[in-house]
Amino acid sequence: MSDIARAIAAYVSSRRPEEFAPAVRHETARALINFFACAIGASRHATVDAALAAVQPFAGPPQAPVFGRRERLDALNAALVNGTSSHVFDFDDTLLSCAVHPTGPVVAAQLALLGQRPQSGADFMLAFVLGVEVEAGIAEAIHAPHYAAGWHITGTVGVLGAAAACGRMLGLGPEKLAHALGIAATQARGLRAAFGSMCKPFHVGHAAQGGLLAALLAERGFTAGAEMLEGRRGFAEILGCGASLAEVPERLGQPFALLRNSYKPYACGVVLHPVIDGCLVLRESRISDPSQIARIALEVHPLVLELTGRKVPQTGLEAKFSVYHAAAVAFVRGAGNEEEFSDAAARDQATLALRARVSPEAVASLGKDEACVRVTVQDGSTSEHHVAHASGSIANPMSDAALVRKLGRLAAPALSSAAIDRLVALCRTLETVPAAAALNDAAAAAA
């Protein structure tokens, strides 16, 4: 094994729960609440229905729930389906440093494994923090050339984070854990051409499943090559476009990536959030009738047009990648929830009409969480609003209460309010929960 794979594995296999500051534990609770909001919220989406229908005839013992539903699957298939559902709405958490959605691939794998490998809330949390740390550390080392080359980074590094977390749960020593990272590295895949299709969330589920499989294989003595993470023809050389992982080991936990995690108030790409903020403010304060709008001029960070430049989205998934849709639907419906990025919303006539009047302009001096919205109505008068830091950004984070409301709103169709309260309480007190599997019980629909 390479020195870097060994160093990462040694770190992951030797940390102890008491090393984490309260802030890390607090952010873990927030990440889990947000994860369950997304996964349960999307549990009846066509993407999840299709994935579940495809794997059910082949599934093993009912070891883990499909969150928000009554079906149970074996752990490998549960990781696939729950990881997928966590990303369907594009509503999951984001590390702005590297565009990774960190929690989904890691915790979907971990939760699936709990039936076979029960453990305390504290140990579960430890493995989660470490899984995210490996995932984020590698992502931050490679993200710029990697993402530009066309890789969906949550898929490609997610499998490494899931392998680290599951390897820790399985109690692998550093040698086997290093092999697990190598087995995960050679499963890294996911094309950005998938954006706007069901394959985007599939990448997250596949990463969760692949990371779990990597850890299970390593546990049984399966071997990886010594240079698979970095080294000749390895992950960093090929998918990381030659970026170095040399500094990853020393940066682990310095500080923990979860402390720079962010959560989305709107169900679309995070780059669209300042636009939606600005549109909602103007709608509330100035624009009582959106049909009167003649033009919506946006000044945005250049990434907005690169990532979300789709002018005529046909489906809800495509609408999440359309700044035109995001601005228009915010004015028409006064919100940016999943309903605003549904197939029906993408076809809504009032939104379609307004989309054609949206004119975004890339301004290189703007921050990624910054935007300016200028609306001209038919009488020629204009209103303008500048958003310095979008809701959900590091500078303007979602509050704990807002995250709990997000879970409540998204999970309400699937779970009773008592179950949702129980799930929130478990997430918030996880370090003292005797059996982490209580999370699975709370997040499944009543039989």
Residues engaged in binding its own copies (CB under 8 A): 46-47, 49-51, 53-55, 57-61, 63, 74-77, 116, 149-151, 182-183, 185-199, 202-203, 206, 213, 216-217, 219-225, 227-228, 231-235, 237-238
Minimum CB distance to its own copies, residue 57 (Å): 6
Nearer to its own copies, 61 or 173 (CB): 61
Nearer to its own copies, 167 or 265 (CB): 167
Minimum CB distance to its own copies, residue 5 (Å): 11
CB 248 within 8 A of CB 230: no
* Angle 100-184-211 from CA coordinates, rounded to 5°: 70
Minimum CB distance to its own copies, residue 108 (Å): 15
DSSP 398: P
Tally of CA atoms within 13 A in the half-sphere of 194 that contains its CB? 17
Q: CB under 8 Å to 414, separation ≥6 — which residues?
A: 40, 41, 43, 44, 68, 69, 445
CA-based max dimension of the chain: 73
Minimum CB distance to its own copies, residue 43 (Å): 16
**Single-letter amino acid code for the residue at 256:** F
Question: For the chain, first and last CA: distance in Å?
Answer: 46
- Residue spans of beta strands (DSSP E) within 257-323: 261-262, 293-300
Minimum CB distance to its own copies, residue 228 (Å): 4
Minimum CB distance to its own copies, residue 235 (Å): 6
Minimum CB distance to its own copies, residue 22 (Å): 36
Nearer to its own copies, 153 or 423 (CB): 153
CB 232 within 8 A of CB 55: no
Calculate the CA 437 to chain-centre distance: 22
Nearer to its own copies, 16 or 220 (CB): 220
Nearer to its own copies, 225 or 408 (CB): 225
Nearer to its own copies, 239 or 282 (CB): 239
Nearer to its own copies, 76 or 345 (CB): 76
Minimum CB distance to its own copies, residue 441 (Å): 20
Minimum CB distance to its own copies, residue 393 (Å): 26
Six-digit token string for 283:
């709608």
Euclidean distance between CA atoms 192 and 387, whole angstroms: 28
Counting other chains too, the contacts that 51-57 makes at CB distance below 8 Å and 24 or more residues apart are: 51/80, 51/81, 51/84, 51/202, 51/205, 52/81, 55/80, 55/81
Nearer to its own copies, 188 or 430 (CB): 188
Q: CB under 8 Å to 196, separation ≥6 — which residues?
A: 310, 313, 315, 317, 318, 320, 321
Nearer to its own copies, 128 or 195 (CB): 195
Nearer to its own copies, 141 or 280 (CB): 141
Report the SS3 class of residue 383.
strand
Which of 295, 226, 300, 256 has its CA nearest to residue 135?
256
Minimum CB distance to its own copies, residue 25 (Å): 31
Minimum CB distance to its own copies, residue 323 (Å): 18
Which of 230, 197, 165 has its CA nearest to residue 321?
197
Euclidean distance between CA atoms 386 and 106, whole angstroms: 36
Nearer to its own copies, 16 or 232 (CB): 232
Minimum CB distance to its own copies, residue 199 (Å): 5
CB 47 within 8 A of CB 53: no
Nearer to its own copies, 194 or 363 (CB): 194
CA distances from 147 to 158, 220, 257, 294, 338 (A): 14, 33, 19, 36, 26
